[in-house]
Amino acid sequence: MAAMPLATADLCDANLHPMIKGELRALHPIFQIYGRRCVFAGPVATVKVFEDNVLVRELIKEEGHGRVLVVDGGGSMRCAILGGILAQTAQRNGWAGIVVNGCIRDVDDINGCDIGVRALNSHPVKPGKKGAGEKHVAVTIAGTRICDGEWLYADADGILVSKNELAM
């Protein structure tokens, strides 16, 4: 499990060379903050889906071991791909956080979970259940390419992705 997450602004200041080289990237500031854990960090697990959350559910049911699930939902605003039950499952299974390039629902339930969640917005419509998509693939969200196994750091200032675990 990762050490206590560091402030993203401090990480940027202390890691200028990796930022210049593209080894440390900041996501565009498009995400809303949900969940009780405003600050979180961990190794990334990726999933790419569109208006379907079967693969998201499969990953969340695994032991999280302090990882952060990055869900590329294609930026869809037509349905939610994460709800309260999945957020509670993620909390129970030891996930540090979930970043959704799409919408969530059951906001009050998610806000009661001790997990960090970032999403574009909320939407009451549930997703499809066909199982389409890909797990553990590189995704591009918020202007940033994110690969399985990289590190993600999130706080109130924003979200950073690094090729390696960062230290001050």
Q: Where are the alpha helices (DSSP H) in the chain?
A: 8-14, 16-21, 54-60, 84-92, 107-111
Query: 86: buried, middle or exposed (CB in 10 Å: 19+, 13-18, 0-12)?
Result: buried
- 106 annotated as a binding-site residue: yes
Phi/psi at 158 (5° precision): 155, -165
Could you write out the DSSP letters of every residue in 53-90?
-HHHHHHHTS--TT-EEEEE-TT--SSEEE-HHHHHHH
- 13 annotated as a binding-site residue: no
- 105 annotated as a binding-site residue: yes
- 81 annotated as a binding-site residue: no
- 128 annotated as a binding-site residue: no
- 83 annotated as a binding-site residue: yes
Q: Are strands 151-155 and 158-162 parallel, antiparallel or unpaired?
A: antiparallel
Binding residues for Mg(2+), as ranges, are 106
- Binding-site residue positions for substrate: 83-86, 105
What are the binding residues?
83-86, 105-106
